[in-house]
Amino acid sequence: MPRPHLEFIQCQTIPWKLLGKESSRPGAEIKLLSSDRATSACTVIIRYPEGWSMADSHYLKCDEELYVLDGSIKINELSYEKGDYAYLPAGFERTMMSSPSGCAVMTFYEGKHRAIVGAAPEEHCNADKLIRKMQTAQIDWRGAGDETIASPDVGLKVLRFDPDTGERTWILKIDVPSSQPFEINGVEKHPCVEETFLLEGDMSMTMGVMLTGSYFWRPPNIEHGPMGTRAGFLGLFRCKGGPLTTEWAKSPARINWNAPFDPVMPDNLREFATKHYDPSLSY
């Protein structure tokens, strides 16, 4: 069964779950945001406690994509700080991992992800897909490249692009330098999955207002919009199953800035959808 439509949830309301010895990161905690039961692909926030380590050399049989939300983690010889990104293909060997001071990492697994202890077969890792480390803070912002949001207040950083599938991962920011909110009116849809985690700010949509720490997984061809932001936002985006192209509905639509919270929610998260949370928390 493919991942169900989730749009949207404040991740602060989801409880942490301790990972056991048979997991990919024993001793860490996770928040499970979305998952595919058929393939075991999933999106999680992993919280590594202070002093966490995994000394055994190991690898995964699936690709792992990661973005550090807070703190720092060391993988092999490299340290990853807040805002750092990596794409580690299936078979990439981790000779050691540690987080002396603790950290939180947005992690995307593309399949079954239990750690396999031992050296990885040399032919197992697709080096062409490997992005060992990217310091996103050092990447220049560029224009969004989408005429519907072309504006000097919109910036884009592409973290990953797969030329074979058209899939990509990117950071999008929208600034609101004046008292006038930013809005994109109209209803649109995409032929691929769109996945978003809001790192900062707000995003007004038809089912309510996403705030810092909110997340959605939108399957292909789901109509959505209009959208806007009053204070601006910074978001981590992915498209899966092909390139992100947009088809616009012919009928015009204007944004409702005061839309009530009316999420699309899978059964496993429904109980958390309306729970109160501490707004000072980022996830």
Q: How far is CA 60 from CA 22, 52, 73, 164, in A?
A: 13, 19, 18, 22
Average pLDDT over residues 17-30: 93
Radius of gyration of the chain (CA): 19
Cα atoms in the 13 Å half-sphere on the side-chain side of 250: 0
Q: In this predicted structure, what is the pLDDT of residue 51? A: 97
Residue 6, strand partner residues? 217
Q: Delineate the domains of the chain, giving CATH numbers in brackets.
A: 12-136 (2.60.120.10), 138-272 (2.60.120.10)
Q: Which of 73, 65, 74 is nearest to 44 (CA)?
A: 65
Q: How far apart are CA 71 and CA 82, in angstroms?
A: 6
Q: Is residue 146 pLDDT above 70, yes or no?
A: no
pLDDT, tens digit, for every residue of 83-104?
999 999 999 999 999 999 999 9
pLDDT, tens digit, for every residue of 59-81?
999 999 999 999 999 999 999 99
Q: In this predicted structure, what is the pLDDT of residue 119? A: 84
DSSP code at position 280: T
Q: Is residue 151 pLDDT above 90, yes or no?
A: no
pTM: 0.95
Q: Is residue 264 pLDDT above 70, yes or no?
A: yes
Task: Give the pLDDT band (50/70/90) at residue 152.
Answer: confident
Cβ neighbors of 234 (< 8 A, separation 6 or more) are: 171, 172, 173, 198, 199, 200, 201
Q: How far apart are CA 15 and CA 25, in angstroms?
A: 17
Q: How far apart are CA 158 and CA 168, in angstroms?
A: 7
Q: Is residue 147 pLDDT above 60, yes or no?
A: no
Q: In this predicted structure, what is the pLDDT of residue 75? A: 98
Task: Give the pLDDT band (50/70/90) at residue 148.
Answer: low
DSSP code at position 258: T
Q: In this predicted structure, what is the pLDDT of residue 145? A: 66
Q: How far apart are CA 9 and CA 186, in angstroms?
A: 23
3-state secondary structure of 66: strand
